Amino acid sequence: MNTAASAIDPSIPVADAARSAVVPGGRLSRLARLGSLATGVAGGMLAEGARQLAAGKRPKVSELVLTPANARRVAEQLAQLRGAAMKVGQLMSMDAGSLLPPELADILARLREDARTMPMSQVVEVLETHWGKGWEQGFERFSFTPCAAASIGQVHRARTRDGEELAIKLQYPGVRRSIDSDVDNVATLLRVSGLLPKALDLAPLLAEAKRQLHEEADYRREAESLHRFGGLLGDAEHFVLPRAVDALTRSDILAMSWVEGVAVETLADPQAADQALRDRVASLLIGLLFRELFEFRLIQTDPNFANYRFDAASGRVVLLDFGATRPYAEPVVEAYRRLMAGSVRGDRVTMGEAAQAIGYFQDNIHAHQRDAVIDLFEIACEPVRHPGAYDFGTSDLPLRLRDAGLKLSMERDFWHTPPADALFLHRKLGGLYLLAARLRARVDVAALAAPWLG
């Protein structure tokens, strides 16, 4: 038994081996993973092609690539790679989902749910690398079973000798070194596999994915963002967020105070929360986004439901994970103010000018395409225009947004990747809409937005 075992609470089991796997840290081992994935996809295509030919069919290449077996193969290999390979799939599935083939969107969506954990031996290696031998002497208890796992790291609960409860986020080995090559390799794999539309310009999105991942992989930077948001929300009695413990934080380890709470989506159960509580939680989060954009000009851009919890004892919403924090320049913020205000007034001219300032229109865009983009914004701003409480639970807003986006995306001369600022903001807003729908919340979005649009 490793010496670190003395710091383990024996009542807490080690992570299920079926859900843990050693993270490949070296460049060659990570490249080998991608190579085996490409070989597996090609083999699956040959097998499916032979089967269809034997049945007298003439299959298309896209049909051979997008078989259920290949879909599972892509998702499983990318999940094992984690890091940038997994993150680029997450970004693409959330930001360009309406522009991607449904089969690929389904593959990439699986990556958001499939985060495998490091085995105990690798966890110990990470801790000894950054905290040194004997690190366990500073802890009364350290659980090697992660309480959360994501694309670039996993979280463990611990108690110091002083009795302080902590959340310890550990970064998977090799993530920082592999970011650029992983992003490029995954994009290449998806291209050559025929899983992406040829006209889709991924270069800006991939460059932004690399930049964001390098920032997210710096846990000292995340600790700074945590301190900054803690100061900005110091007067907000309805929110609570962890406190970074600088003495234990390293580039690959983020130590934070432990904050109690249940997963926010559990409030969707009528026995767990009544309508008023669900409405209040969704209203707080949507109102916070307006404050982040128009007051702070600093947005936590990751809308993953796991980043929100609810502390029933205090009635406060718990905010987690500030690695994807992004500043917004004043001209961009003002353009979004004009866009939303124009939507409220029904002023499509102002909306078009604001969308142009944000960077949504290429020089060669057709008039009907420009109108279609403004139509999309009008749909997205529907809750902002709606008088009184907007019922997300009964609204078909997500479906209408999807259908409008799909209709526009069918025009191959329109393919255009919006600026990164827009992608991440829309990702956050869309995620909050989905959460409000999950909670079946009724939110007076117009009232929340009004102070910032006047």
Predicted confidence (pLDDT) per residue in 162-214, tens digit:
999 999 999 988 888 888 887 787 777 666 656 565 666 677 777 877 888 88
pLDDT for the residue numbered 1 = 34
Give the domain range for residue 110: 17-114+179-195
Residues 190 and 266 in one domain: no
Report yes or no on 164 lying in a domain: no
Residues 183 and 309 in one domain: no
* Of the candidates 449, 446, 424, 445, the residue with the CA atom closest to the CA atom of residue 436: 445
* Of the candidates 392, 378, 370, 375, the residue with the CA atom closest to the CA atom of residue 344: 378
CA distance 373 to 360: 8
Residues 288 and 191 in one domain: no
Give the range among 164-173, 224-233, 298-307 with minimum mean pLDDT.
Answer: 298-307
Average pLDDT score over residue span 300-322: 92
Residues 269 and 185 in one domain: no
- Angle, helices 367-380 vs 330-345, to 10°: value is 90
Burial class (CB in 10 A: 0-12, 13-18, 19+), 283: buried
Residues 303 and 426 in one domain: yes
Average pLDDT score over residue span 63-80: 58
Residues 188 and 282 in one domain: no
Residues 300 and 373 in one domain: yes
Average pLDDT score over residue span 225-240: 92
CA distance 247 to 403: 50
Report yes or no on 149 lying in a domain: no
pLDDT for the residue numbered 56 = 54
Max mean pLDDT among 3-12, 53-62, 81-90, 216-225 falls in 216-225
Residues 327 and 190 in one domain: no
Average pLDDT score over residue span 286-292: 97
Report yes or no on 251 lying in a domain: no
Max mean pLDDT among 273-277, 304-308, 397-401 falls in 273-277
Residues 303 and 438 in one domain: yes
Residues 190 and 318 in one domain: no
Q: Which two tokens stand for residue 260?
A: 């109690």
Report yes or no on 372 lying in a domain: yes
pLDDT for the residue numbered 349 = 95
Average pLDDT score over residue span 53-65: 49
What is the bridge-based pairing of β-strands 298-300 and 325-327?
Answer: antiparallel
Report yes or no on 272 lying in a domain: yes
Report yes or no on 78 lying in a domain: yes
Residues 291 and 402 in one domain: yes
Report yes or no on 296 lying in a domain: yes
Burial class (CB in 10 A: 0-12, 13-18, 19+), 181: middle
Catalytic residue list contains 302: yes
Report yes or no on 200 lying in a domain: no
Q: Which of 95, 252, 302, 421 is catalytic?
A: 302
Residue that is last in its domain, among 167, 195, 223: 195
Residues 277 and 368 in one domain: yes
* Of the candidates 397, 246, 229, the residue with the CA atom closest to the CA atom of residue 302: 229
pTM for the whole thing?
0.80
Residue that is last in its domain, among 164, 195, 226: 195
Domain count, the chain: 2
